[in-house]
Structure 1
Amino acid sequence: MIQVFNASWALFLGMFMLMIGNGLQGTLLGLRGELEGFSTFELSVVMSAYFVGFLFSSRTTPLLIQRVGHVRVFAALGSTVSAVLILYPVLTEPWAWTIGRVIIGFCFCGVYITAESWLNDASSNETRGKALSIYLMVQMAGIVAAQYIITQGDVSGFVLFIIPSVFVSLAFAPILLSIRPTPAFEQAKSMTMRELVSASPLACVGMFLLGGIFSAQFGMGAVYGTQAGLSVSQVSLFVSVIYIAALVAQWPIGWLSDRIDRRILIILTTLVGGLGGLIAFIWTGNFAIILVSAALVGGTSNPLYALLIAYANDYLEKEDMAAAAGGLLLINGVGAIAGPLIVGWMMETIGAEGFWLFTASLMLGVAGYAAWRMIQRPRGELDLEAVSYVPVSAATTQVAAEIAQEVYIETEEEEAQANA
């Protein structure tokens, strides 16, 4: 692990700073929007806009890279991010923030795709899984560090908007000065949505609902906190707990994933997450309970992303895995766009606790559908060998998902050779 980090430390450092910038702007807009008098629905539109840009970029950035190269795409999108971050406190209107979030979502996705391409190019077959694990830890660490920075400034001022712009700008230096500028970039072959749904209906439904859960956490967590009467420091701690729990829970859930029927684990995981949401919905005024619920929901929703990919791979041929990753990411992105809009409407209708009711409903929905699928397709009906679980975050792009798929394939081939 240390050897892998030493080989790509500049890339990881740059990604850490990028995640600070992204983590800051997500929480900061929720807090500042409340101060500016934005309605909950207006903020939900603003937050949803990020995922519109993110989803659109996942389809267009690969074409840009093939046309002008990684370095130009990375520099252009990163510079745009810095500019938009500074404009937020200048143009404090819902329509302006919505446009800004679409641009930010597009640019961050493009930056991630570029950086993840470099990560893949810098990794060998032996180190790719470890590199992906470090990448996940760096992502979570950046978001958590951003929450601490928010507590050190004035949400109503300009400084907290300048800081993420500076971090994003500084992220260019270690990456562009130490990484080879032209890694190979190939798009995976396509897979129709009908083929993907036919292969694993549970993975598709689960990914759609999980998109709503994740976007509610990432986009509406700060909005919920302010509406529930939490202080800035409490909101920051609340968001931090979600991501810390997500990081900690990846490995025990991954260990279980390789040892029991994944549908049983999906049911257990989502039941725990649903229970966490219901607890906070019932006792929404208790901050300690809110933190426990944040840990339960965050610690189950993020690992669930990798768990659903691994489950889908159980029913796919090796050559179809990369294409399936793109399809699952698209489904997840559509759910992510809808998530903030629905949770915003629920919070306006029944209050801040609507955030938890939304989360619990989607978690329990996944559990219920997984149970129904176990009846419809018993495990013994197909002769299959489960692939190994690989930790990957719901915040990654198709490139990182395809890296995970390569790790699946390589692990499966190694096990086949060992058993031969």
Structure 2
Amino acid sequence: MRNLLLPLMSLLSGVGLLVVGTGLLFSVIGAQAGSANFPVLVTGLIMSAYFGGFIFGTYWCPAVIRRVGHIRAFAAMASIASTVPLLHALWLNPWFWGGLRFVTGVCLVGLYIVVESWLNVLAQSHQRGKVFAAYMAISGVAMALGNWLILVGDRLGFVPFVMVSIMFSFALLPITLTPVAEPEPTAAPKLALMALFATSPIGVLGAVASGLLTGAFYSLGHVFGQRVGFSELGIATFMAATILGGAAFQWPVGHLSDRNDRRWVLFWVCAAGAAVAMAGFYFALKSEAALIVLGVVYGGLTFTVYGLCVAHVNDLIDRSRVLQVTSGLLLLHGVGATVGPTLAGGLMDWLGPGSLLLYFTGVLVSLAVLIVYFIRAIPKNRGEPGQKDGFVAMGSSSPALLQLDPRGESADTVREPSA
């Protein structure tokens, strides 16, 4: 174990720096696009390009890795990823920025695939759950720190882009200096939409909805705070507090779902999240502090939606299908995250910046209504407490990390499809 501890810490610290840089880049692009008076719809399109690149990279990067190997692919993508942030400062143009965001998404998913593949090599079977949990915790805290880093230096100048480049470059040091055997090439996941929907319509719709929510939040949260007149400290704190709330609520909500029908837990999470978003819409122009507090609760509820959907689907399938099914849900989440910023940006241009919270409310209410419909249409639930695997906190990383999910370690009996 001691021989593995240092390499594991090195890889996890490298991932943390990558995520810090990613969070900072989201914030700085939102801030500078807002200051340049880009329409919010245009800003949403720019941000959507990142998630589009992430989805494209999920398919393209494994082929590159198989062709040239993990190390060469990692070096190439790392070089591009640390250079692209600097290019944003050279030309303030939405089309140019959209292209750069697409390239960033491709490169980052490639880096995550390589690093997470190495984690899979290092983590022994009895350690996989702990490594998975550590990865998710580090990612959540790092994303929150990235949003706070925008307060350092001139947020509208060259400095934030330099800091992102530095974070990406420093992330390579612990990763490249770690002696890790090259893993087996990662296969691109298969997206069998009809099979997934037949297994669990609630899981599929929930995965898309979670992408619609988180993609819009990460992409336009800073623009929202800027347009409603919050201070830079208030915006950074709102973003970070919401992300940290999402990390803190994962386990209590997950524990509740382990003991009850996950579908109804998901319904009440959506209903409560919609109520909090509506309260936030009321307070958006009135109290910065109140919105930050509501952000903690909102993040705590809505950031659990994806994990609940994955857990519900995994309650219904044979364990031999865990990686395939969860990879499909991850890509559906990515599709939602790609579309979300554009939809939310268009609504904000039409109804004003506070309507981002109305967008959140609409997505959550729609999902809650669909959950009730499918529960009534297919009332039989195979995911009873005695049949369930435990809830596992999930994030929107790459398919390679899913191999660390402890739910996929052993075979189990096949369960019948349900809602």
Q: Give CA deviations for 1:161-195 in whole Å, capped at 9, x if unaligned.
A: 10110110111111111141511234377462211
**Higher deviation after alignment, 379-388 or 141-150:** 379-388
* Alignment correspondent of 1:26: 26
Change (3 A) 1:3 1:347: farther
Distance in 2, matches of 1:389 and 1:75, equals 35
Equivalent residue for 1:14? 14
Q: 1:382 to 1:119 in 2, by over 3 A?
A: closer
Contact 2:51 2:338 in 1 (8 A): yes
Superposed, which structure 2 residues align to 1:404-415 within 5 Å? 404=405, 407-410=406-409
Q: 1:288 to 1:216 in 2, by over 3 A?
A: same
Q: Which residue of 2 aligns with 1:418?
A: none
Contact persistence 1:13–1:171 (CA under 8 A): yes
Determine the structure 1 residue equivalent to 2:235. Answer: 235
- The answer on 1:293 being equivalent to 2:294 is yes
Specify the code of the residue in structure 1 equivalent to 2:400: V
* Alpha-carbon shift at residue 131 of structure 1 (Å): 0.4
Q: CA deviation at 1:245?
A: 0.4
Task: Give 1:330's aligned residue.
Answer: 331
Q: Which residue of 1 aligns with 2:316?
A: 315
Structure 2 counterparts to residues 2-401 of structure 1, below 5 A: 6=6, 8-187=8-187, 190=190, 192-285=192-285, 286-380=287-381, 385-393=387-395, 395-401=396-402
The one-letter code of the counterpart of 1:409 is G
TM-score, scaled relative to structure 1 = 0.93
Partner SS, residue 299 of structure 1 = helix
How far, CA to CA, are the matches of 1:78 and 1:116 in structure 2? 15
Maintained 8 Å contact 1:45/1:341: yes
Q: 1:33 Cα shift?
A: 1.1
Q: Is the 8 A contact 2:189 2:399 kept in 1?
A: no
Q: Is the 8 A contact 1:116 1:400 kept in 2?
A: yes
**Partner SS state of residue 230, structure 2:** coil
Partner of 2:415: none
Q: How far apart, CA to CA, are the structure 2 residues paired with 1:39 and 1:8?
A: 43
Query: Which runs of 5 or more structure 2 residues have no equivalent in the other structure?
Result: 413-419
CA 1:247–1:124 in 2, change beyond 3 Å: closer, same or farther?
same
1: CA distance, partners of 2:123 / 2:250: 21
Runs of 4+ deviating beyond 3 Å: 1-7, 188-191, 379-384, 409-413
Q: 1:182 and 1:380, CA in 2 relative to 1: closer, same or farther beyond 3 A?
A: closer
CA distance, structure 1, for counterparts of residue 313 and residue 137 of structure 2: 24
Q: Deviations over 1:278-317 (max 9, x none)?
A: 1111222121231133212211222221111110111111
Structure 1 SS opposite 2:392: coil
Contact 2:315 2:383 (8 Å CA) reproduced = no
In the alignment, the residues of structure 2 paired with residue 2 and residue 256 of structure 1 have an alpha-carbon distance, to the nearest angstrom, of 35
Unaligned runs of 5+ in 1: 414-420
Alpha carbons 1:132, 1:392 under 8 Å: kept = no
Does the CA contact (< 8 Å) of 2:17 and 2:170 recur in 1?
Answer: yes
How many angstroms does 1:102 deviate by?
Answer: 0.5
User: 1:307, 1:389 within 8 Å by CA — same for their partners in 2?
Assistant: yes
Q: Deviations over 1:197-219 (max 9, x none)?
A: 10001001111111110101111
**1:130-176, CA deviations, whole angstroms, 9 ceiling, x for partnerless residues?**
10111011111211222222112111221111011011011111111
SS for the counterpart of 1:38 is coil
Contact 1:392 1:401 in 2 (8 A): no
User: How many angstroms apart in 2 are the aligned matches of 1:203 and 1:325?
Assistant: 10
State the SS of the aligned residue for 1:355: helix
Alignment RMSD (CA, Å): 2.1
TM-score with structure 2 length normalisation? 0.93
- Cα deviation for residue 116 of structure 1 reads 1.0
Q: For the structure 1 residues 299 and 388, does the alpha-carbon distance in structure 2 shift closer, same or farther, using more than 3 Å as the test? A: same
Q: Is the 8 A contact 2:191 2:331 kept in 1?
A: no
Moved more, 240-249 or 278-287: 278-287
Q: Residue 14 of structure 2 contacts residue 175 of structure 2 at CA under 8 Å; is this kept in 1?
A: yes
In structure 2, relative to structure 1, the CA distance for the partners of 1:210 and 1:382 (3 Å cut) is: closer
Amino acid at match of 2:293: V
The amino acid across from 2:169 in the alignment is S
| Deviation string, structure 1 residues 18-54 (Cα, Å, up to 9, x no partner) | 1111011001100011112212121111111111100
- State the alpha-carbon separation in 2 of the partners of residues 191 and 348 from structure 1: 33
Which one is further off, 382-391 or 54-63?
382-391
Which secondary structure does the structure 2 equivalent of 1:126 belong to?
helix
Using a 3 Å threshold, how does the CA distance of structure 1 residues 44 and 164 change in structure 2: closer, same or farther? same
Q: Secondary structure at the match of 1:127?
A: helix
Indicate how the Cα distance of structure 1 residues 9 and 381 shifts in structure 2: closer, same or farther if over 3 A, else same. closer
Matched residue SS, 2:304: helix
Alpha-carbon separation, structure 2, partners of 1:106 and 1:149: 24
Local SS of the residue matching 1:388: coil
CA distance in 2, matches of 1:345, 1:47: 13
Name whichever of 43-52 and 372-381 sits farther off. Answer: 372-381
